[in-house]
Amino acid sequence: MNDNFFKNKKVLVTGHTGFKGAWLSYYLYLLGSKVMGISLKPSTNPSLFEILNLKNKIDNNYINILEKKKIEKRILRFKPDIIFHLAAQAIIKKSYDFPLETWKTNLLGTIHILEAIRKQKKKCHCVIITSDKCYKNFEKIKGYKEDDILGGIDPYSASKAATEIAFKSYFDCFLKDTKHRLVTARAGNVIGGGDWSQNRIIPDCVRAKSKNKKVKIRNPKASRPWQHVIEIINGYLKLAKKLNSNIKINGQSFNFGPKNSEIVAVNNILKNISINWPGFKWVKVGNIIKNETDLLVLNTNKVNKILNWKTRLKVDFAVKLTIEWYREFYENKKKNLTFIIDVTKNQILDYHKKFKI
Protein backbone atom coordinates (compact mmCIF):
# COMPACT_ATOMS: atom_id res chain seq x y z
CA MET A 1 0.00 0.00 0.00
CA ASN A 2 1.45 3.32 -1.06
CA ASP A 3 1.21 6.25 1.34
CA ASN A 4 4.54 7.67 2.39
CA PHE A 5 3.02 9.92 5.04
CA PHE A 6 2.13 7.03 7.38
CA LYS A 7 5.04 4.74 6.54
CA ASN A 8 7.36 4.33 9.56
CA LYS A 9 5.36 6.89 11.55
CA LYS A 10 4.94 6.03 15.24
CA VAL A 11 1.17 5.88 15.69
CA LEU A 12 -0.75 5.31 18.92
CA VAL A 13 -4.26 3.88 18.74
CA THR A 14 -6.24 3.82 21.97
CA GLY A 15 -9.12 1.37 22.01
CA HIS A 16 -7.23 -0.81 19.51
CA THR A 17 -8.91 -4.01 20.69
CA GLY A 18 -12.37 -2.70 19.79
CA PHE A 19 -14.14 -2.93 16.43
CA LYS A 20 -13.05 0.38 14.85
CA GLY A 21 -9.73 0.33 16.68
CA ALA A 22 -8.82 -3.08 15.25
CA TRP A 23 -9.69 -2.02 11.69
CA LEU A 24 -7.69 1.20 12.10
CA SER A 25 -4.69 -0.60 13.62
CA TYR A 26 -4.66 -3.15 10.82
CA TYR A 27 -5.02 -0.45 8.14
CA LEU A 28 -2.04 1.41 9.66
CA TYR A 29 -0.07 -1.85 9.85
CA LEU A 30 -0.67 -2.36 6.13
CA LEU A 31 0.51 1.21 5.51
CA GLY A 32 3.81 0.44 7.23
CA SER A 33 3.24 2.46 10.41
CA LYS A 34 4.85 1.52 13.72
CA VAL A 35 1.63 1.02 15.66
CA MET A 36 1.23 0.94 19.42
CA GLY A 37 -2.12 0.09 20.97
CA ILE A 38 -3.44 0.94 24.42
CA SER A 39 -6.72 -0.60 25.52
CA LEU A 40 -8.46 -3.09 27.75
CA LYS A 41 -8.40 -6.71 26.67
CA PRO A 42 -11.00 -7.58 24.00
CA SER A 43 -14.48 -7.39 25.47
CA THR A 44 -16.21 -9.64 22.93
CA ASN A 45 -15.87 -13.25 21.88
CA PRO A 46 -15.23 -13.58 18.95
CA SER A 47 -12.88 -10.60 18.73
CA LEU A 48 -11.64 -8.97 15.52
CA PHE A 49 -8.44 -7.99 17.33
CA GLU A 50 -7.71 -11.66 18.01
CA ILE A 51 -8.88 -12.88 14.59
CA LEU A 52 -6.45 -10.48 12.88
CA ASN A 53 -3.67 -11.59 15.26
CA LEU A 54 -2.89 -7.94 15.95
CA LYS A 55 -1.18 -8.82 19.21
CA ASN A 56 1.75 -10.10 17.15
CA LYS A 57 1.66 -7.31 14.55
CA ILE A 58 1.78 -4.20 16.74
CA ASP A 59 3.08 -3.02 20.13
CA ASN A 60 0.18 -4.25 22.24
CA ASN A 61 -0.55 -2.81 25.71
CA TYR A 62 -3.47 -3.76 27.94
CA ILE A 63 -3.86 -0.63 30.07
CA ASN A 64 -7.07 0.95 31.33
CA ILE A 65 -7.43 4.47 29.91
CA LEU A 66 -8.27 5.60 33.48
CA GLU A 67 -4.81 4.62 34.78
CA LYS A 68 -3.33 8.06 34.24
CA LYS A 69 0.24 7.40 35.40
CA LYS A 70 0.60 4.21 33.37
CA ILE A 71 -0.90 5.89 30.29
CA GLU A 72 1.44 8.86 30.51
CA LYS A 73 4.50 6.71 31.14
CA ARG A 74 3.80 4.47 28.15
CA ILE A 75 2.98 7.35 25.78
CA LEU A 76 5.99 9.46 26.77
CA ARG A 77 8.27 6.45 26.29
CA PHE A 78 6.79 5.71 22.83
CA LYS A 79 6.84 9.36 21.67
CA PRO A 80 4.09 9.02 19.05
CA ASP A 81 3.99 11.12 15.91
CA ILE A 82 0.22 10.59 15.67
CA ILE A 83 -2.48 9.60 18.14
CA PHE A 84 -5.92 8.27 17.30
CA HIS A 85 -7.95 8.25 20.51
CA LEU A 86 -10.84 5.80 20.18
CA ALA A 87 -10.97 4.24 23.66
CA ALA A 88 -14.51 4.70 24.96
CA GLN A 89 -17.60 3.11 26.43
CA ALA A 90 -19.64 3.38 23.25
CA ILE A 91 -22.89 1.50 23.88
CA ILE A 92 -25.94 3.63 24.76
CA LYS A 93 -27.78 0.88 26.65
CA LYS A 94 -24.67 0.10 28.68
CA SER A 95 -24.39 3.79 29.55
CA TYR A 96 -27.74 3.50 31.35
CA ASP A 97 -26.57 0.39 33.20
CA PHE A 98 -23.14 1.82 34.05
CA PRO A 99 -23.35 5.62 33.87
CA LEU A 100 -20.36 6.35 36.11
CA GLU A 101 -18.09 4.00 34.15
CA THR A 102 -19.28 5.66 30.93
CA TRP A 103 -18.60 9.18 32.18
CA LYS A 104 -15.17 8.31 33.57
CA THR A 105 -14.02 6.38 30.50
CA ASN A 106 -15.23 8.87 27.92
CA LEU A 107 -14.44 12.14 29.67
CA LEU A 108 -11.52 11.45 32.02
CA GLY A 109 -9.97 8.98 29.58
CA THR A 110 -9.76 11.72 26.97
CA ILE A 111 -8.35 14.20 29.47
CA HIS A 112 -5.62 11.69 30.34
CA ILE A 113 -4.57 11.59 26.68
CA LEU A 114 -4.57 15.40 26.50
CA GLU A 115 -2.45 15.55 29.65
CA ALA A 116 0.08 13.16 28.12
CA ILE A 117 0.26 15.26 24.95
CA ARG A 118 0.90 18.37 27.07
CA LYS A 119 3.95 16.67 28.57
CA GLN A 120 5.37 15.31 25.32
CA LYS A 121 8.11 17.49 23.87
CA LYS A 122 8.02 15.88 20.43
CA LYS A 123 5.44 17.28 18.01
CA CYS A 124 2.29 15.18 17.93
CA HIS A 125 -0.84 15.14 15.77
CA CYS A 126 -3.95 13.88 17.55
CA VAL A 127 -7.41 12.91 16.29
CA ILE A 128 -9.89 12.45 19.12
CA ILE A 129 -12.93 10.39 18.14
CA THR A 130 -16.16 11.47 19.80
CA SER A 131 -19.62 10.83 18.29
CA ASP A 132 -22.40 12.21 16.13
CA LYS A 133 -24.52 11.91 19.28
CA CYS A 134 -22.63 14.77 20.95
CA TYR A 135 -25.18 17.24 19.52
CA LYS A 136 -28.37 18.32 21.25
CA ASN A 137 -30.74 16.46 18.96
CA PHE A 138 -33.82 18.29 17.72
CA GLU A 139 -34.22 15.72 14.91
CA LYS A 140 -33.78 18.38 12.25
CA ILE A 141 -33.53 17.24 8.65
CA LYS A 142 -30.85 19.71 7.49
CA GLY A 143 -28.18 18.17 9.67
CA TYR A 144 -25.97 19.44 12.46
CA LYS A 145 -22.97 21.62 11.71
CA GLU A 146 -19.81 21.51 13.78
CA ASP A 147 -20.69 24.74 15.60
CA ASP A 148 -24.22 23.66 16.56
CA ILE A 149 -25.14 23.29 20.23
CA LEU A 150 -23.80 20.25 22.03
CA GLY A 151 -25.99 18.16 24.31
CA GLY A 152 -27.26 14.64 24.79
CA ILE A 153 -29.70 13.13 27.26
CA ASP A 154 -28.41 9.60 27.76
CA PRO A 155 -25.09 9.18 29.65
CA TYR A 156 -23.19 8.12 26.52
CA SER A 157 -24.27 11.09 24.40
CA ALA A 158 -23.85 13.56 27.26
CA SER A 159 -20.36 12.24 28.06
CA LYS A 160 -19.33 12.69 24.43
CA ALA A 161 -20.65 16.26 24.42
CA ALA A 162 -18.68 16.88 27.62
CA THR A 163 -15.60 15.39 25.97
CA GLU A 164 -15.89 17.91 23.13
CA ILE A 165 -16.13 20.75 25.66
CA ALA A 166 -13.12 19.42 27.61
CA PHE A 167 -11.13 19.15 24.38
CA LYS A 168 -11.87 22.77 23.47
CA SER A 169 -10.92 23.93 26.96
CA TYR A 170 -7.62 22.03 26.93
CA PHE A 171 -6.80 23.23 23.44
CA ASP A 172 -7.48 26.90 24.15
CA CYS A 173 -5.82 26.92 27.57
CA PHE A 174 -2.84 24.61 27.15
CA LEU A 175 -2.22 23.37 23.62
CA LYS A 176 -3.11 26.12 21.15
CA ASP A 177 0.30 27.77 21.18
CA THR A 178 2.35 24.56 21.22
CA LYS A 179 3.80 22.50 18.35
CA HIS A 180 1.03 19.90 18.82
CA ARG A 181 -1.99 19.80 16.52
CA LEU A 182 -5.32 18.33 17.54
CA VAL A 183 -8.84 17.87 16.19
CA THR A 184 -11.98 15.93 17.04
CA ALA A 185 -13.95 13.71 14.68
CA ARG A 186 -17.68 13.09 15.03
CA ALA A 187 -19.26 10.03 13.42
CA GLY A 188 -21.64 7.24 14.28
CA ASN A 189 -23.43 4.08 13.14
CA VAL A 190 -20.36 2.51 11.62
CA ILE A 191 -20.86 -0.94 10.14
CA GLY A 192 -18.46 -3.60 8.93
CA GLY A 193 -17.27 -7.12 9.60
CA GLY A 194 -15.90 -8.07 12.98
CA ASP A 195 -18.20 -6.10 15.29
CA TRP A 196 -19.71 -8.27 18.02
CA SER A 197 -20.81 -5.53 20.41
CA GLN A 198 -24.13 -5.99 22.18
CA ASN A 199 -27.15 -3.85 21.29
CA ARG A 200 -25.94 -2.85 17.83
CA ILE A 201 -28.10 -3.61 14.82
CA ILE A 202 -25.85 -5.68 12.57
CA PRO A 203 -23.94 -7.55 15.32
CA ASP A 204 -27.28 -8.51 16.90
CA CYS A 205 -28.58 -9.60 13.50
CA VAL A 206 -25.61 -11.79 12.58
CA ARG A 207 -25.52 -13.40 16.02
CA ALA A 208 -29.20 -14.33 15.70
CA LYS A 209 -28.78 -15.57 12.12
CA SER A 210 -25.81 -17.74 13.07
CA LYS A 211 -28.06 -19.47 15.63
CA ASN A 212 -31.12 -19.58 13.32
CA LYS A 213 -33.05 -17.29 15.67
CA LYS A 214 -35.06 -14.13 15.08
CA VAL A 215 -33.33 -10.93 16.08
CA LYS A 216 -35.27 -8.52 18.29
CA ILE A 217 -35.51 -5.03 16.77
CA ARG A 218 -36.65 -2.19 18.99
CA ASN A 219 -36.91 0.74 16.56
CA PRO A 220 -37.17 -0.30 12.87
CA LYS A 221 -38.22 3.18 11.70
CA ALA A 222 -35.22 4.99 13.19
CA SER A 223 -32.96 6.57 10.55
CA ARG A 224 -29.21 6.77 11.00
CA PRO A 225 -26.15 7.86 8.95
CA TRP A 226 -24.80 4.37 8.19
CA GLN A 227 -21.25 4.16 6.87
CA HIS A 228 -18.75 1.37 6.35
CA VAL A 229 -15.85 1.19 8.78
CA ILE A 230 -13.24 1.44 6.01
CA GLU A 231 -14.74 4.74 4.84
CA ILE A 232 -14.73 6.33 8.27
CA ILE A 233 -11.18 5.13 8.97
CA ASN A 234 -10.13 6.58 5.63
CA GLY A 235 -11.60 9.87 6.90
CA TYR A 236 -9.68 9.71 10.19
CA LEU A 237 -6.44 9.07 8.29
CA LYS A 238 -7.13 11.94 5.89
CA LEU A 239 -7.76 14.22 8.87
CA ALA A 240 -4.48 13.29 10.56
CA LYS A 241 -2.62 13.83 7.30
CA LYS A 242 -4.28 17.21 6.72
CA LEU A 243 -3.23 18.34 10.22
CA ASN A 244 0.35 18.17 8.97
CA SER A 245 -0.21 20.47 6.01
CA ASN A 246 -2.96 22.84 7.19
CA ILE A 247 -2.43 24.48 10.57
CA LYS A 248 -5.71 26.41 10.17
CA ILE A 249 -7.73 23.31 11.13
CA ASN A 250 -5.86 22.95 14.43
CA GLY A 251 -8.34 22.80 17.33
CA GLN A 252 -11.38 22.24 15.10
CA SER A 253 -14.03 19.51 14.92
CA PHE A 254 -15.21 17.57 11.88
CA ASN A 255 -18.40 15.66 11.04
CA PHE A 256 -18.13 12.42 9.10
CA GLY A 257 -21.23 10.93 7.55
CA PRO A 258 -22.98 9.94 4.33
CA LYS A 259 -24.99 12.23 2.11
CA ASN A 260 -28.68 12.51 3.00
CA SER A 261 -29.80 10.09 0.29
CA GLU A 262 -27.80 7.37 2.06
CA ILE A 263 -29.37 7.99 5.48
CA VAL A 264 -31.93 5.21 5.75
CA ALA A 265 -34.13 3.54 8.34
CA VAL A 266 -33.27 0.34 10.18
CA ASN A 267 -35.96 -1.33 8.06
CA ASN A 268 -33.82 -0.78 4.99
CA ILE A 269 -30.78 -2.33 6.64
CA LEU A 270 -32.82 -5.38 7.64
CA LYS A 271 -34.05 -5.87 4.07
CA ASN A 272 -30.49 -5.71 2.77
CA ILE A 273 -29.31 -8.26 5.31
CA SER A 274 -32.10 -10.59 4.15
CA ILE A 275 -31.00 -10.19 0.52
CA ASN A 276 -27.37 -10.95 1.31
CA TRP A 277 -27.99 -13.71 3.84
CA PRO A 278 -31.18 -15.66 3.03
CA GLY A 279 -33.07 -17.01 6.00
CA PHE A 280 -32.48 -13.98 8.21
CA LYS A 281 -35.57 -13.11 10.31
CA TRP A 282 -36.47 -10.40 12.79
CA VAL A 283 -39.29 -9.37 15.13
CA LYS A 284 -40.18 -5.97 16.59
CA VAL A 285 -40.06 -5.58 20.37
CA GLY A 286 -40.70 -2.68 22.76
CA ASN A 287 -38.00 -0.03 22.87
CA ILE A 288 -36.01 -0.63 26.04
CA ILE A 289 -33.79 2.43 25.62
CA LYS A 290 -35.13 5.70 26.98
CA ASN A 291 -35.08 8.90 24.94
CA GLU A 292 -33.88 7.21 21.75
CA THR A 293 -34.27 9.51 18.75
CA ASP A 294 -35.72 8.57 15.36
CA LEU A 295 -33.55 10.85 13.23
CA LEU A 296 -29.92 11.93 13.33
CA VAL A 297 -28.32 13.77 10.40
CA LEU A 298 -24.90 15.43 10.15
CA ASN A 299 -23.88 18.24 7.83
CA THR A 300 -20.60 17.12 6.22
CA ASN A 301 -19.87 20.13 4.00
CA LYS A 302 -16.74 20.88 6.01
CA VAL A 303 -14.99 17.53 5.43
CA ASN A 304 -16.15 17.56 1.80
CA LYS A 305 -14.46 20.94 1.27
CA ILE A 306 -11.34 20.71 3.44
CA LEU A 307 -10.50 17.00 3.19
CA ASN A 308 -12.19 16.15 -0.09
CA TRP A 309 -13.78 13.30 1.86
CA LYS A 310 -17.19 11.76 1.32
CA THR A 311 -18.64 8.29 1.52
CA ARG A 312 -18.21 6.50 -1.78
CA LEU A 313 -19.97 3.26 -0.88
CA LYS A 314 -23.74 3.32 -1.13
CA VAL A 315 -25.42 1.97 1.99
CA ASP A 316 -26.68 -1.13 0.15
CA PHE A 317 -23.13 -2.02 -0.89
CA ALA A 318 -21.77 -1.22 2.59
CA VAL A 319 -24.25 -3.72 4.05
CA LYS A 320 -23.31 -6.24 1.35
CA LEU A 321 -19.60 -5.95 2.20
CA THR A 322 -20.42 -6.33 5.89
CA ILE A 323 -22.62 -9.40 5.53
CA GLU A 324 -20.16 -11.04 3.14
CA TRP A 325 -17.52 -10.71 5.86
CA TYR A 326 -19.77 -12.33 8.50
CA ARG A 327 -20.93 -15.10 6.16
CA GLU A 328 -17.32 -15.99 5.45
CA PHE A 329 -16.62 -16.08 9.17
CA TYR A 330 -19.61 -18.14 10.29
CA GLU A 331 -19.64 -20.53 7.35
CA ASN A 332 -15.90 -21.24 7.53
CA LYS A 333 -14.97 -20.60 11.15
CA LYS A 334 -14.00 -24.24 11.73
CA LYS A 335 -11.23 -23.79 9.19
CA ASN A 336 -7.98 -21.89 9.65
CA LEU A 337 -8.94 -18.25 10.35
CA THR A 338 -6.24 -16.90 8.04
CA PHE A 339 -8.91 -16.74 5.34
CA ILE A 340 -10.86 -14.04 7.23
CA ILE A 341 -7.63 -12.04 7.59
CA ASP A 342 -7.41 -12.16 3.80
CA VAL A 343 -11.03 -10.99 3.48
CA THR A 344 -10.31 -8.04 5.78
CA LYS A 345 -7.07 -7.20 4.00
CA ASN A 346 -8.65 -7.39 0.55
CA GLN A 347 -11.53 -5.10 1.54
CA ILE A 348 -9.01 -2.50 2.76
CA LEU A 349 -6.75 -2.87 -0.28
CA ASP A 350 -9.65 -2.63 -2.73
CA TYR A 351 -10.91 0.57 -1.13
CA HIS A 352 -7.45 2.12 -0.74
CA LYS A 353 -6.53 1.39 -4.34
CA LYS A 354 -9.60 3.27 -5.58
CA PHE A 355 -9.73 6.19 -3.15
CA LYS A 356 -6.40 6.38 -1.25
CA ILE A 357 -5.89 8.79 1.64
Report pLDDT digits (tens) over 193-252.
999 998 889 999 999 999 999 998 988 988 888 999 999 999 999 999 999 999 999 999
Strands (DSSP E) along the chain, which ranges? 10-14, 34-39, 59-62, 82-85, 125-129, 181-186, 190-191, 215-217, 223-224, 227-228, 253-255, 264-265, 282-284
In this predicted structure, the answer to whether residue 171 has a pLDDT above a threshold of 80 is yes
Global pTM value: 0.95
Options 3.40.50.11290, 3.40.80.10, 3.40.50.720, 3.60.150.10; CATH of 10-355 = 3.40.50.720
What are the pLDDT digits (tens) for 124-152?
Answer: 999 999 999 999 988 777 889 999 999 98
Neighbouring residues of 305: CB distance < 8 A, sequence distance ≥ 6: none
SS3 305: helix
In this predicted structure, the answer to whether residue 337 has a pLDDT above a threshold of 90 is no
SS3 content of the chain, % helix, strand, coil (to 5): 45, 15, 40
The full set of domain ranges for the chain reads 10-355
Task: Please report, as a single letter, which amino acid is at residue 263.
Answer: I
What are the pLDDT digits (tens) for 288-321?
Answer: 555 556 678 899 999 999 999 999 999 999 999 9
What's the confidence (pLDDT) of residue 293?
Answer: 60
Confidence of residue 111 (pLDDT cuts 50, 70, 90): very high
Contact, 33 vs 101, CB < 8 A?
no
**How far, in Å, CA of 265 to CA of 278, rounded?**
20
Contact, 297 vs 229, CB < 8 A?
no
User: Nearest 10 degrees: CA dihedral of 287, 290, 295, 298?
Assistant: -140
In this predicted structure, the answer to whether residue 96 has a pLDDT above a threshold of 80 is yes
Confidence of residue 287 (pLDDT cuts 50, 70, 90): low
